[in-house]
């Protein structure tokens, strides 16, 4: 079962689990020379840097269980190989989910769990407010 801070999302060539536990958040701090809220703010307001986008996705894949080599290969293919701006929404969603968690919806009448969504998704709602 996915943790409340895990994001399971269709991306690239499949469905992947993204997560940014403390170890990956600390590495993101180092790589981006900024804390996660600052990185998220840059992703949302358009002042992002390449490292903000690439490393959020790469570290999210690693935190989600992918090995580092496989994560880097995916980033090279689906981030570096396309216009970088296309990767900004997934990077922001990974960070939002890691920082705010996601709502876990109740089971439907048939007993099947419905999809989980971020608790607050400023990427989809257009809100740039931070906690």
Distance CA 60, CA 125 (A): 22
Run of H or E including 106: none
Spatial separation of the C-alpha atoms in residues 77 and 12, rounded to whole Å: 8
Mean pLDDT of the chain: 84
User: How does pLDDT run across 71-83, given as a tens digit for each residue?
Assistant: 999 999 999 989 9
pLDDT at 115: 46
Contacts with 54 (C-beta within 8 Å, 6 or more apart), sequence order: 75, 79, 80, 87
The pTM (predicted TM-score) of the whole model is 0.79
Give the start-to-end residue ranges of the domains of the chain: 7-112
Asked if 4 and 94 count as a contact pair (C-beta separation under 8 A), the reply is: no
More confident residue, 112 or 57: 57
């Amino acid at each position: 079962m996915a943790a409340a801070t895990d994001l399971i999302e269709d991306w690239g060539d499949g469905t992947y689990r993204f997560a940014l536990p403390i170890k990956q958040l600390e590495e993101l701090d180092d790589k981006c020379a900024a804390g996660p809220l600052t990185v998220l703010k840059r992703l949302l307001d358009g002042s992002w840097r390449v490292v903000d986008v690439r490393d959020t996705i790469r570290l999210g894949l690693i935190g989600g269980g992918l090995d580092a080599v496989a994560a880097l290969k995916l980033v090279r293919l689906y981030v570096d190989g396309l216009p970088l701006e296309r990767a900004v929404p997934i990077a922001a969603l990974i960070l939002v989910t890691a920082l705010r968690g996601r709502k876990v919806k109740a089971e439907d009448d048939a007993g099947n769990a419905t999809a989980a969504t971020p608790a607050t998704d400023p990427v989809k709602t257009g809100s740039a407010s931070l906690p």
